[in-house]
Every structure is written in C-alpha cells, then in structure tokens.
Amino acid sequence: MRAMALEQANSIDQSPLQEKDCPQPEPRSGEVRIQVRACGICRTDLHIVEGELPARKLPVIPGHQIVGIVQAQGPDTGKFQQGQRVGIPWLHRACGHCHFCRTERENLCKQAEFTGYTVDGGYAEYAVAPEEFVHPIPEEFSDAEATPLLCAGFIGYRSLKLSEVRPGQRLGLYGFGQSAHITIQVACHWGCETYVFTRSKQHRQLALQLGAVWAGGAEDTPPKTVHSAIIFAPVGSLVPQALGMLERGGTLALAGIHMSPIPSLNYASLYQERTLRSATNLTRQDARELLQLAGEIPIHTHVESFPLNQANRALGKLKNSEINGAAALLIE
C-alpha cells in the first residue's frame, strides 16, 4: 500500500516524510481494517515529524484523524458492517483495567497507544484499529469535512468542558486553527460569548464569521475579561497573558500536547481561585458526545485538501499558519 512514512524526525522544511510501498496491515482479534479515504493534518503530526515529541516508533506512518470504510475484520468483531464509514482518532486503545480506565478516565491510561505515534496511522491507504475505539461518522459530513472532528474536535470539546465555561458566560480562545474553529461553534451553540486571540488576520476574519464577538491579537485588550479560556497555540508565553484576562474563579485550559516553556508566573495571576489545567487526549465518551453535537448544531468545518504525496507541503503550511481552518489528505 502507498504511505507517507517518517524514518527520522527532521524539520518539515526538509520534507522528512517519504512515499513508501508498505505492507498492508492485517487486523488482529477485535480489530478492523479501514480503507482510508481521508486523513486530517494535525499539529501533533507536526510535533512528531519534527521531533518535538520523543519518537516512540520509527519508522512510523503519522495521521490520527482517519475517515474511511471498514474493509476487513479480524476475529471477535461485529460492531461494524463491511463498507460502513467510520473514523479512527488519536486514542488507539487503552488497557481497560487500570484505575484511570475503571474511573472513566481512559485518556490518562499509562498503557494507552496512540494512532500515528505508537502505532501506524492514516497517511496511508489502509489502517487498523480496535473496533471499540473506532467511531461511526455522521452522514452530514463528507470524508474531508469529518476529519478534523476526530482530533481537533475531540480535544477542543474536552478542553471546553475542562474550562468549565457555562452558557451565557464569556470564553477566550488563544490560537484559531483546527480545534478552535470547531470549539467556537460548540461554545456559540451553548450561548457563550467568545473572544478570539490570534496573530493571523485571516483567522480573525474566520472567527468573526463563526460567531466571535471580538477578535484580535494576544497583545490586544478585549472589551471585557473572560470567565474561562482555552489556549490552543503551543506557545507558553500566552499562559500569563491568558491568566491576566480571567475573571476571579475562572479556569484556563491548555489544549496542546506540546508547548514551549511557560514563563515564571506572578502568584497574583492565579490568586482569587483561578485554575490552570491541561487537557489530555480524549475519552470515547468525549468522542460520542462531540459527534452527536456535530450533527445537531450542525458544525461546519473548513478543510483544505491535499493529495497523499503532498503531506510535507500540507504540514509546512500548517506550521506557517497558512491553513485557514483545517487540512486533510485525500487518499484516492
């Protein structure tokens, strides 16, 4: 099968992903094989390719926002029908037995495996996954439109819940890429006022189109402080700035898997019962809730598509903030 594989981490400017002819994966017990139709491009992929996340498997096929159809099933399966359209997200599997798994926090499982990182992902014609960690895709979305829901949407939704924002309250979003452009639609659906901080003029325009009441740069002062905030940009220096915008008792959630160093904090920025917390991965319950909401709202995703062999170019555009919304590879 055709795949874009990473053999050694390097700057995306050096085009480290190489087109390869790889063996077609075989589903084991409890697994299904997906014929990949589209795979989203994620900033986590960029962190893996450039080595900002330590390598867990090399060579590896990245990609964890996978949409395709069930093409083969291993023993002890039956959840999905042949030809059914499904999605594979970042959380590939969890152990199911540890304290975290038994308390509905499988996102914190120490034995978890991750699609496109510890196991091969979707920058390829085929991918396999345990059927219990695979999700049906709402009919309202095309293949490309559905891809950002499977990571950007899931982690954005989890971060939104962890921010503890309530209907009618004000929410700040720092960075306006794939996750934020989905998260803002859920927040607006909940009746929240959203304030977006991003350096890109294009992203500010999109934020306003999607319902933001204000959009500016991180250095700008919005007309009001916010009750909750989420940082999507992997920029640690935003943490003190975001805390400075929080109301008393507010919560700041960090949505990224990787972030540059956070500067030292003045205690006054945390005083008055402000909370700073990180969001980690997703649970299957997060996925079910977001996919249901996506069809009900309905969420509109903005996706720029690329052929599989242009994965390096697509990641380069993502790195340089040249993607307005989300990006996906189409596998034909």
Looking up residue 111, the CATH number of its domain turns out to be 3.90.180.10
Please check whether residues 108 and 188 belong to one and the same domain.
no
Please check the confidence at residue 119 and state whether its pLDDT lies above 90. yes
pLDDT band at 322 (very low <50, low <70, confident <90, very high): very high
Q: Give the model's pLDDT for residue 143.
A: 98
Question: Which two tokens mark 14?
Answer: 């050096």
Q: Give the model's pLDDT for residue 325.
A: 85
Question: What residues does 93 pair with on adjacent strands?
Answer: 113
Please check whether residues 38 and 180 belong to one and the same domain.
no
Which alpha helices (H) appear in the chain, and where do they start and end? 43-49, 99-102, 143-146, 152-162, 178-189, 201-209, 238-244, 284-296, 311-319
Q: Is there a contact between 35 and 71 (Cβ–Cβ < 8 Å)?
A: yes
Please check whether residues 248 and 260 belong to one and the same domain.
yes
Residue-range definition of the domain harbouring residue 160 = 154-278
Please check whether residues 105 and 208 belong to one and the same domain.
no
Please check whether residues 55 and 17 belong to one and the same domain.
yes
Please check whether residues 106 and 146 belong to one and the same domain.
yes
pLDDT band at 199 (very low <50, low <70, confident <90, very high): very high
Q: Is there a contact between 156 and 183 (Cβ–Cβ < 8 Å)?
A: yes
What percentage of the chain reaches a pLDDT higher than 70? 100
Q: Give the model's pLDDT for residue 95.
A: 97
Please check whether residues 134 and 30 belong to one and the same domain.
yes
Indicate the average pLDDT of the chain. 96
Q: Give the model's pLDDT for residue 324.
A: 86
- Residue 59 DSSP symbol: S
What average pLDDT score do residues 99-108 get? Answer: 97
Overall domain count for the chain = 2
Report the CATH number at residue 188: 3.40.50.720
Q: Let me know if 173 is exposed, middle or buried by CB neighbors in 10 A (0-12, 13-18, 19+).
A: buried
In the chain, what is the straight-line distance between the N-terminal and C-terminal CA atoms, in Å? 12
Please check the confidence at residue 332 and state whether its pLDDT lies above 90. no
What average pLDDT score do residues 81-88 get? Answer: 97
Q: Give the model's pLDDT for residue 178.
A: 87
CA angle 82, 35, 50 (to 5 degrees): 145
Please check whether residues 242 and 290 belong to one and the same domain.
no
Question: Which two tokens mark 300?
Answer: 């509109």
Q: Is there a contact between 251 and 226 (Cβ–Cβ < 8 Å)?
A: no
Please check whether residues 18 and 80 belong to one and the same domain.
yes
Question: Could you give the 3-state DSSP secondary structure of residue 37?
Answer: strand
In this structure, the number of other CB atoms found within 10 A of the CB of residue 31 comes to: 23
CA angle 307, 312, 318 (to 5 degrees): 95
Does the N-terminal peptide bond of residue 298 adopt cis geometry, omega within 30 degrees of 0? yes
Q: Is there a contact between 5 and 60 (Cβ–Cβ < 8 Å)?
A: yes
Q: Give the model's pLDDT for residue 69.
A: 98
C-alpha closest to that of 119 among 43, 16, 27, 12? 27
Q: Is there a contact between 114 and 93 (Cβ–Cβ < 8 Å)?
A: no
d(CA 128, CA 247): 45
Please check whether residues 50 and 187 belong to one and the same domain.
no
Q: What is the pLDDT of residues 42-78, one digit of tens each?
A: 999 999 999 999 999 999 999 999 999 999 999 999 9
Q: Give the model's pLDDT for residue 34.
A: 98
Amino acid at 96: G
Q: What is the pLDDT of residues 164-176, one digit of tens each?
A: 999 999 999 999 9
Please check the confidence at residue 210 and state whether its pLDDT lies above 90. yes
Please check whether residues 271 and 304 belong to one and the same domain.
no
pLDDT band at 245 (very low <50, low <70, confident <90, very high): very high
Please check whether residues 300 and 272 belong to one and the same domain.
no
Q: Is there a contact between 304 and 326 (Cβ–Cβ < 8 Å)?
A: yes
